[in-house]
Structure 1
């Protein structure tokens, strides 16, 4: 796909829409020129096209340009979790450019005993990691993402999910749930601010036999103002670097990306919609 050229006019149109999105009070032509760097004639042609497509309107009261109700309606047609994926994608791309290893945004729904990969930079990474692409199910108690998410939850909710995982069919969850160190290790996650895989978890698909995938992962919860939306991780081959090296090199970038995703979701007021869908929870995480 790298050899396929982009359409510059479409890119410029999105630059205009993004500029208008950041000016809910509307923008004049001069203000849009300053925000986008586009020339007056180019900007006028783009605005005329966008108005014709009913993506932009020009107010008859103050002559300012604004995004249209129809454009916003298209966004509202997406489910809350798909909107979260859309907001997260640029952050995952940016994180992958910084650390090179792939990352996943994993989310949890209701009382499920697994996380689900919602968005991933697996295909963008120049490094190969042994994992199936797509929205795979991820172990809750053993994976870094699952442990980061659990550590962020309020005690009663976390205990309930652990009990549900203990009673489930996933062999990974069952094995880890019966260890005596799970509560201690989750407390360690809260103290240090990130999660690694549980030592007993070396990979393997949900509800499938264990297999060593040669990977390690580090994850942080995606939290904002008392809400947790999921967890963001970095995956790497264990032989490539130690856990300590990964923390030293990449933890700050991982935390920044997670904070950016959470802030973007909160700005769109997604937390309440995700909560109603069982895809966001109240949390006690301290950033």
Structure 2
């Protein structure tokens, strides 16, 4: 896909729309010319086209150009989950370009005994990772993504979810509970600043037999305004890199991507509508989890 050329006229149209978005009071042709660097004739053609498509309007009162309310209709049908995936996708793509191994954004909803992969860079990675594509269910208690999520929660809520997992269908959760080391791994994640897979968890689909997928993973929570949104991981073949090497090379980039997703949520003001939000643990515990060296 990188060899396919972009359409410059479309890019210019979006430059105009972004310029108008930054100016809710409207903009004149001269102001748009100054901001975008486009010529007057080019701007006039673009504006005429955008007005015809009801993406831009020109006020009869002051003759200033503004984005049309019709633009909102293009995203009105998006579910909260799709909005979050849309926000996260550029960050996952950028992270994959840096790390090369794939990452997943995983979320949890209410009392599910699993995490759901909402967005992934699995297909963008140049490395093969043995995992089904799409919005798969990921183990809650044994995966790095699930552990990072649990580590960011309050103790009372974490205990509730462990009990839900105990009563759930996934045998992998039962194996982790039987080992008795979940709380130790949660505290370890807070101490070292990231979560890893449980030692006894080597992969396997939801409610399916265990299988060694040859992978390892590290993960960090995605937190914004004292709310836990989900978690972000990096998956890799454990024969290719040790955990220590992965952490040394790429943990900062993983954390930066998680912060970037949180910042994008803030910029767009979509936090209240996101699925599965949970209150974060105490600020000092959260700071330790997100900032440990």
2:264 corresponds in structure 1 to 264
2:170 corresponds in structure 1 to 170
Cα RMSD, aligned residues only? 1.8
1:280 is aligned to 2:277 = yes
1:185 corresponds in structure 2 to 185
TM-score, normalised relative to structure 2: 0.90
Segments of structure 2 that go 5 or more residues without pairing to the other structure are none
Separation in 2, partners of 1:147, 1:162: 11
Q: Residue by residue, what CA displacement relative to the aligned partner does 1:115-147 show, whole Å, maximum 9, x if unpaired?
A: 111111111111111111111111111111111
Separation in 1, partners of 2:58, 2:232: 40
Say if 1:32 and 1:152 are closer, same or farther in 2 by CA, change over 3 A. farther
Q: How does 1:38-49 map to 2 (within 5 A)?
A: 38-49=38-49
Say if 1:253 and 1:54 are closer, same or farther in 2 by CA, change over 3 A. same
Separation in 2, partners of 1:41, 1:79: 39
C-alpha deviation, 1:97, in angstroms = 1.0
Segments of structure 1 that go 5 or more residues without pairing to the other structure are none
Separation in 1, partners of 2:127, 2:22: 36
Separation in 2, partners of 1:35, 1:23: 11
Secondary structure of 1:178's counterpart equals helix
C-alpha deviation, 1:226, in angstroms = 0.4
Q: How does 1:1-287 map to 2 (within 5 A)?
A: 1-274=1-274, 278-284=275-281, 285-286=286-287, 287=290
C-alpha deviation, 1:187, in angstroms = 1.4
Say if 1:155 and 1:240 are closer, same or farther in 2 by CA, change over 3 A. same
Separation in 2, partners of 1:180, 1:70: 55
The runs of at least 4 aligned residues of structure 1 exceeding 6 Å deviation read: none
Secondary structure of 2:6's counterpart equals coil
Q: Residue by residue, what CA displacement relative to the aligned partner does 1:176-205 show, whole Å, maximum 9, x if unpaired?
A: 022221111101112222111111111111
Equivalent pairs, count: 284
Secondary structure of 2:249's counterpart equals helix
Say if 1:90 and 1:23 are closer, same or farther in 2 by CA, change over 3 A. farther
Separation in 2, partners of 1:54, 1:74: 11
Say if 1:74 and 1:201 are closer, same or farther in 2 by CA, change over 3 A. same
Greater gyration radius: 2
